[in-house]
Amino acid sequence: MAASPATNTTLARNHGSMPPEAVIFGRSHRMIAIRTRIEKIAAANVPVLIQGESGTGKDIIARLIHRLSPWESGPFVKVNCPAIPGTLLESELFGYEKGAFTGALGSKPGRVELAHRGTLFLDEISEMDMGLQSKLLQLLQDGQFCRIGAQDDKKVEARVVCATNRVLEKEVDTGRFRQDLFYRINVVNVHVPPLRERTMDIASLVEYFLEIYNDKYNCNTPMLSLSLLQQMQRYHWPGNVRELENLMRRYVILGSEEAILGEMSARRPDTLDLELPLDGPVSLKKITRQAVHELERKLIVRVLEANNWNRKKAARALGISYRALLYKIREAGLPSSHSKQISSDLEASE
């Protein structure tokens, strides 16, 4: 069960930007299994590989592993591999000695050294070039590394957690990732499912982000309507939890469900969302009606967006009466901040 809104806000303040575990893991079986797995592996000083699409919460899971480990009091050092150019990543990771290269006016410890007796989190490790992969392999094998320009190796004790949005097995097959390093970092594997595969957790996440951003921006934006929540359940979520968070931030600031619907519609694949039976006969008439209804719904949304959700202008653009458009909006379950006005307009037109 998700934590209460007040508890969510308190926990968020206590742990920075990390949502409470009950919200992140939700009630879906796959996420509960991941949480159980994390609790088992946290105490063991073995490398962990976290795989999943961008925005699924790999960073949050890495921090949770650190927080549940015996090295919680030690540093958590994150390295965003693609954010640092390859020529600088080596010195950023392993540090350098004075005079090692032009501009090295003094010695500097690297992120590996700073993670001593803590956790080193290598985000998007698939972006690391082959030369650096070799040095990382030495660190994992011997617990030793060498600063750039130094003669002697240094020892370090750190839990290494890696994350990637790619399938590393394929990267190994294509020669872009070392096979021996893959086996070293893949002692324990955690695969985070995309949000579209855990839609039963969307309501809890919506409530959490709504409380957080209402508090942050001093707003009192109400909970989303049931019709919009149902559409969120059917949405494909290419940006996963990060996309949901951004939508809820926008909703709190603008106070309009249309802002969320417009963004979702713009990113919806140009395919029909048809519910086909898994077994038994297929009714062509029923499927055709469903396809027409879905196409009509998408067309109405796009015309409404093009007219800034002015329903009278949209009705003229569609070549239908204002009253007909109101009925179609209500039948399609499209959210509107003016739902009461729609009902009043319909009653007045009857």
What is the CATH number for 327? 1.10.10.60
In this structure, the answer to whether residues 62 and 187 fall within a common structural domain is yes
Which of 177, 192, 207 is where one domain is finished? Answer: 192
Sequence-distant (≥ 6) Cβ neighbours of residue 290 within 8 angstroms: 274, 275
CA distance to 31, 66, 163, 171, 328, per residue, from 128 (Å): 29, 23, 12, 12, 52
Q: What is the pLDDT of residue 291?
A: 72
Residue 268 placed within a domain: no
Please tell me the distance from the alpha carbon of residue 304 to that of residue 322, in angstroms, as a whole number.
12
Q: Which domain holds residue 171?
A: 29-192
**Pairwise CA distance, residues 186 & 169, whole Å:** 11
- Which pLDDT score, from 0 to 100, does residue 133 have? 95
Q: Does residue 206 belong to any structural domain of this protein?
A: no
Given a contact cutoff of 8 angstroms between Cβ atoms, the answer to whether 74 and 119 are in contact is yes
Instruction: Give the residues across from 108 on adjacent strands.
Output: 96
**What pLDDT does 9 receive?**
38
Is residue 227 included in any domain, yes or no?
A: no
For the chain (350 residues), the mean pLDDT of every run of 10, in chain order, is: 37 43 77 91 94 93 94 96 89 86 82 96 95 93 89 92 95 95 96 91 92 94 92 91 94 88 73 53 71 77 74 86 85 55 50
In this structure, the answer to whether residues 169 and 309 fall within a common structural domain is no
In a domain, 140, yes or no: yes
Whether residue 307 sits in one domain with residue 183? no
Q: Report the run of H or E that residue 304 belongs to, with start and end.
A: helix 284-306
Three-state secondary structure call for residue 51: strand
Name the amino acid, one letter, at 186.
N
Question: Three-state DSSP class for 162?
Answer: strand
Say if CB 322 and CB 345 are below 8 A apart. yes
The answer on 286 and 176 residing in a single domain is no
Q: What is the pTM of this model?
A: 0.71
Instruction: Please indicate, yes or no, if residue 266 is contained in any of the structural domains.
Output: no
Could you tell me how many residues make up the chain? 350
Residue 229 within any structural domain of the chain = no
In this structure, the answer to whether residues 33 and 181 fall within a common structural domain is yes
Say what the pLDDT of residue 64 is: 93
156 and 59 inside one domain = yes
Contact partners, residue 71, CB within 8 Å, separation at least 6: 45, 117, 118, 119, 159
Compute the Cα dihedral for 295, 296, 302, 303 and give only its sign. Answer: positive
Burial of 285 (0-12, 13-18, 19+ CB in 10 A): exposed
Number of domains the chain contains? 2
**pLDDT of amino acid 22:** 66
Mark whether 180 and 313 lie in a shared domain. no
CATH number at residue 122: 3.40.50.300
Residues 40 and 147 occupy one common structural domain: yes
CA distances from 317 to 258, 270, 303, 327 (A): 19, 22, 7, 16
Tell me if 261 is assigned to some domain. Answer: no
Give the span between the Cα atoms of 305 and 317, in whole angstroms.
12
> Considering 141, 158, 192, which residue would you say is the last residue of a domain?
192
Last residue of a domain, one of 161, 192, 223: 192
Residues 157, 55 within the same domain: yes
* 254 in a structural domain: no
